[in-house]
A and B are shown apart, each in its own frame.
Chain A
């Protein structure tokens, strides 16, 4: 339709607001409460416009165009009104600096005066000039304020980690409240009280971390003033340069902007134009990244064990020492562990070295979903890359299974939430009840390990003859039908622990038309019954034409798996490597990730290539300092198969070097061929030649923002995968009087290589400590346990320590621990799990004495 804004004729879309349309056409309308990602709000009233033929003034942020609308965005009357409004807004905001006559002369000194905590003017404000209020004041050319100013004198909230809240600077635009509610689905912040006492707050002003805030930083990023500010940046000067890169901690691949001054990282922001994250991030990328890179535990120099102590040596000495030692072992005596958080280039060179030089077949990667790859191969289906994150928001039905998605894969959660607000039905299936499940249409809290029973039951409820054509093979269909006919409704319901009407309603939802997604997290596949779960879900997805999405944590798991294609070495998962090492066949270990060792066993020589010191390195004979992803360049492949280029943001710390460089040096020293790389682009050129999936990759194109995916299979394509025969797993071992609880574990998604974010970073420890053992409120009451108490979890054979966390996540009778492959032996739930063959265990809890 055609509308006229300021005498300019514009073709407008009817789903955009007048304000958006004006901005697209470079017409400036001042506004404070509006945000492009949030719903229209109309609180600040600064964006008022005149519409010809209508009486009054209209907020352009919340009206939509109509045919022939004639809009005026500027007139003397509008100017006066806007100034009046702004004066009233500034009444409660420290405004002396905003209207100061010496404003221009002061700019130079602003960033040096800022050494106070109480902010009474822009010179003292930590937002350091990135302030939308300043912009609007300048645009409206406001020179004086007629009213006496009013300082709220509200106490600054400093008790939370990562950011402070100073409500003396707040203009009540409501952006933080809306972003928390609409985009992140947490609703921790809310408007409280009313009238002149209105403020943004929480229940009785409790701290955010007590209310389940995960500190994604979205509220800080949308705040137009300095009311919400990052703690660590408060007293920093302005950055001298900004670089863009990709966050390499989890599999989302958020695009970040990193602010740097004098080679130091000041802050990391999610980029609004990031193709995956669109201005969102999570606590890891937004706040923790800066702390990770320059953490005191970073290793700066190569270390070699001399006389039982690790000593700093030069690169030459370290490489010589390691090459000399590694030469003495046969291929079958060496095991290699590859981190799934290194770049494709690093992973390729590492595997080339292991395969061609060390000649070993024992290469393992660390993945939360080991069964996935195995299942994909067996049933010949492309489970790993058959979706686009963007498409999730178009879904009509989403099944979310065994995943703490809002923490582990935050961007996926944002997309799910978008779908839900568009009317999609969300079914959460989990034995745990995560806080996000309040957004669900139905929440099925099943007994642990009964997922396959549930899916078989739903399949039985839905099965009709017409579904036969969904199956590629009639024989399978008959087999499947027979299998389902044997399932007894009442028995299955009893086993799963849900009611009949819940099962029927779930089936009903699944029977609806539209795009359907089954999204599952690590909890679905990490136990010994993972394969049965996968099979039953896969069968159900064929039957109902739903798409299956597995969620992975590690930033480059897909890239690591893809780059292993040219090599004959067997890919092993962590549990297998653990087993091989326990068997005592391995004499030497070379790892660039965590090492699964609690004692050295038969291993004589251990080389660890990592960026961080941790307890496990203490058994290493040589330690090579690797750079983090911010100090080098390369590519990651994210969860949807998107190939992303990350850039060098700062120089490597100390003597640390990129992984590919270190391995290439070792390769050259051990007379391997083809290790003369000078930069990562040369490695990528080789990968492009060897692996067809990468043939379209070009650094230049990636830099320009051209989207390249590893697998060009379109979503919605007819699948030809086979139905897989299903066996239901045995039900869980019964608990008994002595061991009254069942232990479940959650894969810890807060790791970067050998560094455990939620153990080393103070703020993250406060919101999700890796050593928490989560216990239901009632159970804790019975055992008289209090939050934070030190306890011991004991199974028949093993034990580990941890701290009590009373939580609503776990149902009564279940205890949840975090699973970490490189935890200290005393605290390691993983150790107990591996030992039990990844089954859940009956356990008891004791107070530590």
Chain B
């Protein structure tokens, strides 16, 4: 539980928001809601595809796009989720296991999913912006 972490409740609230402000982290958590575990590869497929499916004009997600998301998950997003105590990430086997969510995280995620639904296809996801909305139609 977040409350039990040695670095204190205030620190852990910061860590929780630091994770949840990242759309990669939220979408990984939405996906993990009904599943105990997922592999890094599986999460990369889901997060890359899902965030692109929300774009105003969805493009095809290529293996290279997915690879970029995998690198971000491995080095930044999953460690942030682990710091916030929301998942366990095994660096060697590259498997992610969902922790039982603290009440606050659970409530926030439930609300944020409703908001993502209302905001459907509004390109307002700040951390998606650099990752490809400007892509030219790749005519070849």
Partners in one complex: no
What residues make up the interface of B, taking CB atoms closer than 8 Å to A? none
What residues make up the interface of A, taking CB atoms closer than 8 Å to B? none
